[in-house]
Structure 1
Amino acid sequence: MSNRYAIILAAGKGTRMKSKLYKVLHQVCGKPMIRHVVDEVRQADFSSIYVVVGYGAEAVSSCVGDDAVCLLQKEQLGTAHAVLQASDRLAGQAGTTIVLCGDTPLVTHETIEQLIDAQEREHAAAAVLTAKLNNPAGYGRIIRTASGDLERIVEDKDATGEEKKVNEVNTGIYSFDNKLLFETLHKVGNENAQGEYYLPDVIQLLIQASKKVIARMTPHFEETVGVNDRIQLAAAEKYMRDRINRRLMAQGVTLIDPETTYISAETVIGQDTVIYPGTIIEGHTEIGSGCKIGPRTHVKNCRIGSESLVDQSVLEESWIGDWVEIGPFSHIRPLSKIHNQAHIGNFVEVKKSEIGERSKASHLTYLGDAVLGNDVNMGCGTITVNYDGKNKFATRIGNGAFIGCNANLVAPVTIGDGAFVAAGSTITESVNADALAIARSRQTNKENYALKLNYRVNP
């Protein structure tokens, strides 16, 4: 492990988000912004990672978990003051420290490593990552000398009219010689429009001390997009979605219409799987090869095996095997397990149930708290009656059982292997293997009785 350190600034409240949720916890493609940054930093070679927290410290720290050390900034007095929170741990240490913001979810570990490598290669005291924007309003401007060297960074609120015309901006991502960083931080003042201690002032102080400072422009300006309001959040979402979709397509996944396909950053999809328009895939989802998913399908935190078909359905927190067919219009609710070659058809709901291999519920069926063996047939309109108003009970159906249409299986009940339940039956007692269960009243027809009901409308 090298002597490289990372400090991620995540103490701001994010007033412009107009939200009860702290800014860095807002999600981009299904993952909080701070997690995007931490996960990318973790892919680089750092001996220690620190996250400076302030507003919502407990919630942000919980999101970060054990992947970084969280440092509390009790008062938000500026970015230089935020970095100082790591002074007790890093001051005097030899090495390199990168500083970046928790609200830049698009930054990649490649860009982080390139900036550090440039700074270390040129033995610079600091390196600044810059980008060119058509509309640089709100960003600190990069002011260069006539020879192209970095002269200073000026904040937007402190910039003159001429300086505001500059479209090369400070991204807020820096790489520092660690010792020089903490030696210089104590010299930063707050004589500015905001009365804050700005981290860019460290750059100016290093330049004034004749230290070498370099500015490196990234060609991928979208990586540097900071999120301060809902408009910028939507822009970051669009960039991230495009990145995810392009990566998946490069890996052999077909997206019929990427513009209408929403896939989380945590999703893994195998080759030759086809994702149809209007599909949303969220959370930690894994989909095998050769599947067809969609159109208009919502999958969240599921594992789907290879060669399976999911058509216009909703799947949540469940395990789906290989060669499974689901839909159209099925709902697989959490904690369900659908084994290989099973078929869940239209208007079927499965909740916390296990469906064995080659078993099928083709239409209009509810399976709740049930365990089905292999080769079970569930007839149309059949339900497992799992709830008595207070408690949930389980239904168990053995291998090869046949459940006729419009049957009610009142749990707790067990249907044995090879048993047959007649259509229209309400089963309240267990059925032995290979038995036929009939539980319905004998039909009685009363001739001409309908005339007494007098329900017909006169022509």
Structure 2
Amino acid sequence: MKRLVTALKITELYDLSHTAAGDYLAGFTYPWQALEGLKDFILALGPKLPKEEYEEREPNVWVHKSAKVFPSAYLGAPCIIGPDTEVRHCAFIRGSALVGAGCVVGNSVELKNVILFDGVQTPHYNYVGDSILGYKSHMGAGSITSNVKSDKTLVVIHDQMAPVETGRKKVGAFLGDHVEVGCNSVLNPGTVIGRNSSVYPVSCVRGVIPANSICKSGGVVVPKQ
């Protein structure tokens, strides 16, 4: 149980210097605990952003002046789009989204109640909801987070050692820094992937994937060599 709980901690998954939510996340032990108050955090942070760097394009929608937002993209409140980020054609940001610096939110990507650390790429046809993606993590084309169980019960984080209750109906995935998710993979509710780990394309992932691992098809997990 001790190994599991340690692997799930925010401090084990993320370098908090790579997000504007660093101080906010530091107030929690586990990442799913930060989902409940994320909307209020963004609403409080937005007005404090430097007005010479950010413009409020709509009420509670703050976009850095160096960001590129394509005309067909939808930015729902509240959200913050960081410097040098691209929000491409037909992206759908439903709200409660904090997108960091140098990110890519690609064509037809949907975001809801998320933190994207700096350098995150969700470039093609991704759905990311109730999730936190760490520094320079990448989701291949068509990979998605599933954030609600089919039976609508509360999400539990599963590991071989012990289950961990989240107390939430909606929980997506938590990707540590430098995680690579292969194309057309599905991350089931409550998936946690440790730093520097990779997921093979067309994988169905659940539970906890340790840091520095490779998750292969069929749920086989091996250490990186």
TM-score range, shorter chain: 0.5 to 0.7
Write the distance in 2 (CA, Å) between the matches of 1:351 and 1:381. Answer: 16
User: What does residue range 57-456 of structure 1 map to in structure 2 within 5 Å?
Assistant: 286=56, 301-311=60-70, 312-317=72-77, 318-389=79-150, 390=152, 391-440=169-218
Residues 322, 341 of structure 1: 8 Å contact kept: yes
1:368-394 Cα offsets, whole Å, 9 max, x none, are 011001111110011101011422113
The aligned amino acid for 1:366 is Y
Counterparts of 1:396 and 1:365 in 2: how far apart (Å)? 15
Report SS of the residue matched to 1:353.
Answer: strand
Alignment: residue pair count: 151
Query: In 1, distance between residues paired with 2:53 and 2:216?
Result: 47
* Unaligned ranges ≥5, structure 2: 1-50, 153-168, 220-225
- What SS does structure 1 have at the residue aligned with 2:126? strand
Residue aligning to 1:59: none
* Equivalent-residue separation in structure 2 for 1:387 and 1:436 (angstroms): 25
Provide structure 1 residue ranges, at least 5 long, that are not aligned to the other structure.
1-269, 274-284, 288-298, 442-459
Q: Which residue of the partner structure matches residue 245 of structure 1?
A: none
Q: Give the SS at the match of 1:351.
A: strand
Report the Cα distance in structure 2 between the residues aligned to 1:372 and 1:427, rounded to whole angstroms.
15
The one-letter code of the counterpart of 1:422 is: Y
2:191–2:207 contact (8 Å) kept in structure 1:
yes
Distance 2:174 2:74 in 1: 24
Report the CA distance shift for 1:300/1:345 in structure 2 as closer, same or farther (over 3 A): farther
Which has the higher relative contact order, 1 or 2, with Cα contacts under 8 A spaced 6 or more apart? 2
RMSD: 2.3
- Alignment-mate amino acid for residue 423 of structure 1: P
Contact in 2 for aligned 1:300/1:316 (Cα 8 Å): no
Task: Give a deviation string over 1:268-302, Cα, whole Å, max 9, x none.
Answer: xx7899xxxxxxxxxxx715xxxxxxxxxxx5531
> Whole-Å Cα distance in 1 between the matches of residues 149 and 214 of structure 2?
26
**Which protein is bigger by CA-based radius of gyration?**
1
How far residue 439 of structure 1 moved from its aligned partner, in angstroms, is 2.8
The letter of the residue matching 1:358 is G
Partner of 2:157: none
Distance in 2 separating the partners of 1:357 and 1:368: 17
Structure 1 length as normaliser, TM-score? 0.31
Q: Which amino acid aligns with 1:307?
A: S
Equivalent residue letter for 1:374? Y
**CA 1:272/1:359 → structure 2, altered by over 3 Å: closer, same or farther?**
closer
> SS where residue 424 of structure 1 aligns?
coil
Residue deviations 1:148-197 (CA, integer Å, cap 9, x gap): xxxxxxxxxxxxxxxxxxxxxxxxxxxxxxxxxxxxxxxxxxxxxxxxxx
Say which structure is richer in helix.
Answer: 1
Residue 306 (structure 1) shift: 2.5
Percent identity, please: 25
Determine if contact 2:148/2:172 at 8 Å carries over to the other structure: no
Does the aligned pair in 1 maintain the 2:118–2:136 contact within 8 Å?
A: yes
Determine the C-alpha separation between the residues in 2 that align with 1:338 and 1:380: 19
